[in-house]
A and B are shown apart, each in its own frame.
Chain A
Amino acid sequence: MDDIRILEPEGLDALIAALHERGYRVVGPTVRGDAIVTGDIYAASDLPQGVGDTQQAGAYRLRRRDDDAYFGFADPAQSTKPVFFPAEEVVWRGRRDEGHFTVERDAPKDQAVALLGVRSCDLRAVQIHDAVLADRPFHDAHYVARRDGTFTVAVACGEPATTCFCASMGTGPRPAATNEQTGEPAYDLLLTEVMAPEHRFVLEVGTERGREVADAFDTTRAGQEAQQEAIAVSDAAAARQTRGINTDTIHDVLRASAESPRWDDVASRCLACTNCTLVCPTCFCTTIQDTSDLAGDNAERHRVWDSCFSESFSYIHGGPLRGDVKARYRQWITHKLSSWQDQFGMLGCVGCGRCIAWCPVGIDITEEAAALGRMATAAGAAS
C-alpha cells in the first residue's frame, strides 16, 4: 500500500482521539514509577515524551533525553502480552445451590484494543501468540476474544538498547509489512519518528482501515523519499545493535547440546526466579489453580502465568521432571531457539532483549547461545 504521509508531533493527540472515537481502548508506552510500561493512553501527554531508557544485562534505568521524542526508548518493561493474555484470569465459576450446581464462564469481551507505539519485536510476538493460541485447531477462546478487532499503530524503533538483538532475529527494528505466517498486513499504520532536521513522524498506511483512521486527522502527503527517510532511521538502529544470535545454526546447536557442560555453568548463576519467562513477550505457559470459599458453595478455576523455571511447573506424580535448575534453563532456551521451530515453524524469540535486561543477575541468552555454539563446534572437531 503506497500511502505515505507526514504527521506533525502536535497531531498525535488527534490520532489518539480518532482511535477513541472509533471505540478503541488505546494501549501504549507510558512512564510509571521507575520504568516505561504498557498502559492506557488517553492523550499524547501520557506517552514517555523526552524519556529514554538505558538497558544492559541486569540493569534498566530511565534517563532524560535532550530532545522531545515520544518514542525515544527501546522497549517497555513488559510487552503488550498482558493485554491479550492476562497474568491471571477466571476460566469459570461454579456455584452450589440447593442440591444443584451452576457453572458460569467468564466472557472476556473487552473493548477492542488499539496498540499505539508497539515495537516491531513486540508486534512479531503478537503474531507468534496468534499462531500458537488462535490459529491452531484448539483456540484459546479468551485470547481470541481479546484480540478480535485489534487496531495496530506500530512505531519503527530508532533507539535500540544494548540488550536488543532484533536485527539478528529478522524481527526488526522496522516491522515487516505482512505477517509471514498468514500473509496478512502486520499493522494498520506505521509511524517512524524522525528527529532531524525537524521533529515529525513518517506515517505509512498498511490497511484500508488504517487509511480511514489516517484520513480523520491532519497529515501531509509525502512520497518515497519520506519512506526512505524512515527506513534510514531503522537501518541506523539495526546498525547500532551489538548483540545477536546466529539463527542459521542455533537450532542444530541446541539439538547437539543436550549434555553440554554449559548447563552447569549457567545453573550456578541462575536464580530460578522466573523473571526471564515472565517478561518474555512469547512465553505462554500457564497453570490452572482451583479455589473455593470457606463454605464450599462457590468455586473458581483460575488460569495463571507459569514458568518453566519453577519447580512445580514440571511436577507430576512422584516429583518434578526438571528437579534441577540446569534442566530448566536447558528447557527454556532449547524451546525458544530450537524446538519452537519444530513445533510451530518459527523461532520463539523476537530479540527484544527483556530476558537479558530484567534478569537480576544479567544472564544473556545471546551469550549462552554463542557459548553453546562454540562448545558444540569444539566437541564436533574433537570427535
Chain B
Amino acid sequence: MVEHAHEHPQPHDAGHDAPVAVDTRPKLAVWKFASCDGCQLSILNCEDELLQIAENIHIAYFPEATRAIVEGPYELSLVEGSITTPEDVRRIHEIRAQSGTLVTIGACATAGGIQALRNWADVDEFRSIVYAHPEYLSTLDRSTPIASHVDVDYELRGCPVDKTQLVEVLAAFLNGRKPRIPTYSVCVECKLKGNVCVPVATGTPCLGPVTQAGCGALCPSYGRGCYGCFGPQDSANTDAMTRQLTELGMTGADIVRVYRTFNAGAPEFAAASDALEAAAAASAGGGEPS
C-alpha cells in the first residue's frame, strides 16, 4: 500500500483504518469506443506524472496499457471515442452502470469526432462501396458523443486531449475539487502566453476566437492558425467567424471543411457548416449542396 493513501479526503476513503494490505485507491477504468486511441495514449504520455497517478489511482481496467483486468465497479471511468454501432450503445450503458464518475475524453467522445462526417453522408452508400460484404456490417448512420446516450459527469475536449488538463481532472477528482478547465476562447491562452495574434499580424485564418482553450494555444504558438480541435468555446459567434474567414480569403467549401474536421458534430460548428452549405445552395439557384 502506498504511504499517503490513508490521507485521501474523498468519499472513496473506505480503508482509513484498514490493515495495510487493503488497497484504498479509487479504481480507474479507461474505455474505448470509435476513436484512434490518441487520447488514451495521452494518459501514457504523462511520463513525469504516471508514477504519481498510479500511486493515487488504481489503474484497474486499461487494455491500451495492460492486459490485467480488475473487476468493477470503478470509481472513475475515462471514456474515449464516439458511439457508432448498436453494440456501442449497449456497452456505454453498461459502463455507466458500473462507474461512479464518468469523464469523456477527446473530440470523439465529446462531439462525435472526425467520424461524425458520416452524419452528412449516406452510410448505406459508402458501406456498399467500401465493403465486399456490407451485410456483415452493423453500424449506425450517425456518430454521436457519449453524452447523447448516458449522463456524463465531465467532458474533456481536444484532439487529442491535453495531458496537463488530463492530470488536472484526475487531481481534481482525487481531491474532490473543481477542475481548472476554462471554457473561454483560445485567444485568452495566446494572450496569457504573450503570443501575437496570428490572424491580425499575418492574415492567416484562425479558428481560435470560436474555439475553447485548453491546448495552451499550441498551433498559434508556432505561427499557425487554430484548427478548432477543442471544439466551440462557451460563447462562439460562428457567424462573425465565418465572415472573418471569408475576408481572409477562404472559400465557403474550405470553411465548411474546417468546421467539420475534429468537432463536426459539435452543435455550434455543425450549424455553422450547415448555414454555409445552405447559403451556397441558395446562391446556386436552390440546387442541392455538393
Contact = CB atoms under 8 A, between A and B. Distances in A.
A296 B197 contact: no
Given A87-B194, A293-B52, A360-B209, A34 B177 contact: no
B216 to A, nearest CB: 12
Nearest to A310: B184
B140 to A, nearest CB: 33
Contact of A360 (B52, B200, B233): B200
A78 B184 CA distance: 20
A296 B52 CA distance: 11
Interface stretch (B65-73, B124-132, B165-173, B280-288): B165-173
A280 to B, nearest CB: 10
Contact of B192 (A35, A61, A87, A297): A87
A312 B194 contact: no
Contact of B200 (A82, A96, A296, A358): A358
Majority secondary structure, B binding face: helix
B57 to A, nearest CB: 8
A273 B200 contact: no
B52 A325 contact: no
Contacts of B55: 294-295
A290 B52 contact: no
A291 B200 contact: no
Given A88-B192, A296-B174, A360-B200, A312 B183 contact: yes
Contacts of B191: 78, 87, 274-275, 278-279, 305
B42 to A, nearest CB: 16
Interface residues of B, number: 51
Interface string A341-357: 00000000000000001
B182 A325 contact: no
A169 interface: no
Interface stretch (A8-16, A193-201, A264-272): A264-272
Contacts of B7: 96, 295-296
B235 A325 contact: yes
A295 B57 CA distance: 10
Contacts of B236: 272
Nearest to A296: B175
Contact of A273 (B170, B185, B202): B185
Given A289-B180, A296-B174, A360-B200, A311 B234 contact: yes
Given A33-B223, A60-B201, A310 B188 contact: yes
Contacts of A311: 183-184, 234-235
Interface string B190-212: 01111011011111001011100
A304 B191 CA distance: 11
B289 interface: no
Residue with the greatest number of chain B CB neighbours at <10 A, chosen from A32, A88, A294: A294
A35 B182 contact: no
Nearest to B234: A311
A275 B4 contact: no
B239 A268 contact: yes
A301 to B, nearest CB: 11
Contacts of B56: 294-295
A34 B202 contact: yes
Contacts of A33: 196, 201, 223
A311 B9 CA distance: 31
B213 to A, nearest CB: 10
Contacts of A274: 184-185, 187-188, 191
A148 B192 CA distance: 24
Contact of A32 (B57, B192, B196, B199): B196
B244 interface: yes
B16 to A, nearest CB: 14
A77 interface: yes
Contacts of B201: 33-35, 60-61, 77
A247 interface: no
B171 A291 contact: yes
B208 A273 contact: yes
Nearest to A293: B171
B180 A278 contact: no
Nearest to B188: A274
A322 B208 CA distance: 22
A182 interface: no
A192 interface: no
A95 to B, nearest CB: 13
Interface of A: 32-35, 37, 58-61, 77-78, 82, 87-88, 96, 267-275, 278-279, 289-297, 304-305, 307, 309-312, 325, 357-361
- Interchain residue pairs A-B with the least CB separation, the first 3: A273-B209, A278-B191, A271-B209
Given A87-B194, A294-B52, 9 more contacts: A34-B202, A37-B196, A59-B203, A271-B210, A275-B209, A290-B177, A294-B171, A309-B235, A312-B182
